Amino acid sequence: NSLQGNPEQDAKTIDEQLKKLPPEMREKYIAAVLKHPAGGEAIKYAGVMSPEGQEALGQALGKIYAKDPAGTTALLREITDSQDASLYPWYLQSGLATVISKSGNDDLIKSFAQNEINRAKGNPDEVRGYVNAVTAYAGLSPAGLQDVMKNNPDFFKTVDEAGKFTKDYSGIIENGFGELLKKAAQVTDANGNPTPEALKLFNQSIQYAGDNISTKEGLGEFFTKHQDAIVNSYLGENGYDLTSDGLKTLNTFFKDVLFTPPLGANAKEVATAFTAKANAVLADADKLSDTEFETKYGKNKHDMTSLVGEQYGTMVNAMEESLKNIKDKSDAEAKEIVDVLNGIISVGEAAGGSGGPVAAVGTALIGEGLKLALGVAGDDIAQGKYDDAVEKLKEDGIDPEKFDDYMVNDVLANIDNRVAHDSFRDAFDYVKEILE
């Protein structure tokens, strides 16, 4: 089928042709498209193509670039740098960047992204160039992304500018930032820990979660894979207390990613993984000897349970803030929060079911107060009947403004080791002082 000069329809034509052609014929076809008078404009509308078509187009462009980097770069710049580049539909403007991210060619991705950055730096009206660069960078190999993060002085400025833009979008439309964070989670050193640059990207990106589901999912995936390294990067000089800045950063992460709708699809998974890890440390503080514990965790019981207490206190603080605001949420958003909280409780119940020193931890890491809130008043909360829910809680002697006290007391009731008990309590109180 020939191109007709209607770019959106032509892009769909290219999409259909690519899906029909065998893989070995696609490169030749796209090379011909790029030479066609209407080809460049059609490629610009790659956002209307199917994921399969975008993948095929990206791979073809990657092969064409490998054979002729200079020529391919020039052709792409004719497309991206045209005077009306910002005039075609805003919801399609990341389409070509998405295609480039699927090319499998790090050199093409870096070249395309840098041109987008330069375009944005040179014209305030072209700020979307930063978004396009981030979207393309998400397709880099882990080694390629590490090289860019470490050696490209424009990278973190680009992240900031893109984050300011994408945080106001759902993530269905603008998912490049979230995909970049997922790729960054794969950028590790020889010991499997995130590189300093990957950690910097995570910490810098938390403030841009906003309403973007994809960004929240990327942040959540990074945290789940690298929780220990992230937390260790927030430690103060004594090696077991989080700095005030670290506590505030962690609090923002929990509040915005886990308890502020719209939530990412993995919010429940992230929350339950965190809870399970805290459960394990508290259980080991009771059942392992001091030597066994320190061998396993690299910290003594006082220091490790203090650190867990600070993390737990930070999550509880974030959750409490969200619960206080739940009355302002829509029914659907309230149900999202309740679902995540139920997930955390279910992990506690599974751990507590094994008996031993954590036998009652089913409610411990969330608290009897919240357990009752979800059991006695959960339906009312989910249905938006907040006044009824609060009245039911009060009838059961529960003050919704004091969930944190219920929670920490339940945890403490299940820690038999006195050193661990006291250090957890002190850490929890320390967090409240810093964050309130």
Give pLDDT, residue 211: 87
Give pLDDT, residue 369: 43
Positive/negative CA dihedral, 55, 103, 169, 246? positive
Give pLDDT, residue 248: 93
- Give the pLDDT of the chain (436 residues) as one tens digit per residue: 589 999 999 999 999 999 999 999 999 999 999 999 999 989 999 999 999 999 999 999 999 999 999 999 999 998 888 666 556 666 677 899 999 999 999 999 999 999 999 999 988 878 889 999 999 999 999 999 999 999 999 999 999 999 998 888 765 568 899 999 999 999 999 999 999 999 999 999 999 998 899 999 999 999 999 999 999 999 999 888 999 999 999 999 998 998 887 888 888 888 888 888 888 898 899 899 999 999 999 999 999 999 998 998 888 788 777 766 655 566 666 666 666 665 554 444 433 333 322 323 333 334 444 444 445 455 554 555 545 655 655 565 545 555 556 556 656 766 778 888 888 888 888 887 888 7
- The number of folded domains in the chain is 1
How far, in Å, CA of 430 to CA of 314, rounded? 10
Tokens of 177: 């930032």
388 in a structural domain: yes
275 in a structural domain: yes
Please report, for residues 88, 135, 319, 428, the alpha-carbon distance to residue 114 in angstroms, rounded to integers and kept in the order given.
21, 12, 40, 46
How far, in Å, CA of 348 to CA of 358, rounded? 9
354 in a structural domain: yes
Give pLDDT, residue 352: 39
260 in a structural domain: yes
How far, in Å, CA of 64 to CA of 316, rounded? 53
Q: Which of 54, 44, 48 is nearest to 18 (CA)?
A: 54
333 in a structural domain: yes
CB 72 within 8 A of CB 61: yes
351 in a structural domain: yes
363 in a structural domain: yes
How far, in Å, CA of 6 to CA of 13, rounded? 10
143-181 CB burial, b ≥16 within 10 A, e <16: ebbbbbbeebebbeebbebbbebbbebebeebbbbbbbb
Q: Tell the burial category of 255 from Cβ atoms under 10 Å away from its Cβ (0-12, 13-18, 19+).
A: buried
The pTM of the full predicted model, rounded to 2 decimals, is 0.84
356 in a structural domain: yes
**CA angle 412-416-418, nearest 5°?**
85
* Crossing angle between the packed helical segments 368-376 and 331-352, to the nearest 10 degrees: 130
Residue 365, domain extent: 234-435
Q: How many other β-carbons are positioned within 10 Å of the β-carbon of residue 326?
A: 19
Give pLDDT, residue 185: 98
